[in-house]
Amino acid sequence: MRPHTLGVIGLGAIGGSLARQAKRAGIPKVVGWSPDTAERSAAAREGAVDDAPARASDVAGAVDLLILAAPPAANLDLLDALVPQLRPGALATDVSSVKRPIVARATAGRFGARFAGSHPLAGTHRRGFEASRAELFRGAVVYVTPVENGETAAREIAHFWQTVLEAQPVIIDAARHDTQVGLASHLPQAIASLLARVLAERLPPGATLGPGARDVTRLAASDARLWTEIFLMNRDVLLPELRALREPLGELEGALDAGDAARVTAWLEAGARWRRAIDG
């Protein structure tokens, strides 16, 4: 799908980047909405959108493809409110990082022919339109999650990501998606935030952080309210993974308590082998 008119609801880092890149890719008209009037004005002033009406409903009825780029809970409400307002033949997607709730809501609303979920793996901990950039999705993996009886819509949405935004779409079941990102994305966020909290409480004032601590805690600077929604929406996946950390942490504790260098080395090497394999 290559829309003539694209609508983006939410003009923060993700939505703003979508709008910017779509314009650069030659989409004739991009219409955007944000509850923040300053954000709408900035997007229009910088040429990311051709029009920024005051109401989200004014966007929904005027586009060929509607992208919901608000926080996850808001996207659920927007799905119910805006997808029924789409004109015939128009499609919609979202960019939430938890897919089961929105796919279930779309299924309940019988939106399968008009909607497929999306999750681009191209986020940033920075917030707002000022954090958006036109190259954010180039080469990024984007998961596309079909609704029941919505395979055609999913293929059209995947085609949009590939041809307009130069991303790499992967069509995947919503439950499999949530299990995978719960381990590969949500758990690292929790660990980074935990370490940042510990360092904040225990480091002496003025202590210098090396690159290791900065790298590991980078995710902790992310929007806490956004991640609260994500954690709660995917808590049935995240909770067992958090509990599973107790065993490997206990193994390290036991090896250190015993002064057993071989066990400590083996513990460290298990992670090192996996990380080196990623780097090729």
Q: Quote the pLDDT of residue 35.
A: 94
Q: What is the dihedral of CA 234, 239, 242, 243, to 10 degrees?
A: -160
Longest dimension (CA), the chain: 69
**Cβ contact 139:168 at 8 Å:** yes
Q: Quote the pLDDT of residue 268.
A: 98
Pairing of strands 29-33, 5-9: parallel
Residue holding tokens 């993996």?
Answer: 141
pLDDT in tens, 201-210: 999 988 999 9
pLDDT (mean) for 131-149 = 95
Helix (H, G, I), strand (E, B) or coil at 136: coil
Rg of the chain over CA atoms, in angstroms?
A: 21
Strands of 168-171's sheet, edge to edge?
Answer: 116-120, 141-146, 168-171
Q: Which CATH class is domain 5-172?
A: alpha beta
pLDDT in tens, 35-48: 999 999 999 999 99
Q: Is 125 a residue whose pLDDT tops 80? A: no
Q: Is 112 a residue whose pLDDT tops 80? A: yes
Q: Quote the pLDDT of residue 258.
A: 98
Q: Quote the pLDDT of residue 150.
A: 95
Residue holding tokens 């935004």?
Answer: 165
Q: Is 139 a residue whose pLDDT tops 80? A: yes
What are the sequence ranges of the domains in the chain? 5-172, 174-235, 245-280
Q: Quote the pLDDT of residue 123.
A: 72
Is this structure's pTM higher than 0.85?
A: yes
- What 8-state DSSP symbol labels residue 129? G
Considering the chain, what is the average pLDDT of its residues? 96
Q: Is 280 a residue whose pLDDT tops 80? A: no
pLDDT in tens, 221-271: 999 999 999 999 999 999 999 999 999 999 999 999 999 999 999 999 999
Q: Is 126 a residue whose pLDDT tops 80? A: no
Place 279 in a pLDDT band, splitting at 50, 70 and 90: confident
DSSP-assigned letters across all residues of 20-40: HHHHHTT-SEEEEE-S-HHHH
Q: Quote the pLDDT of residue 127.
A: 84
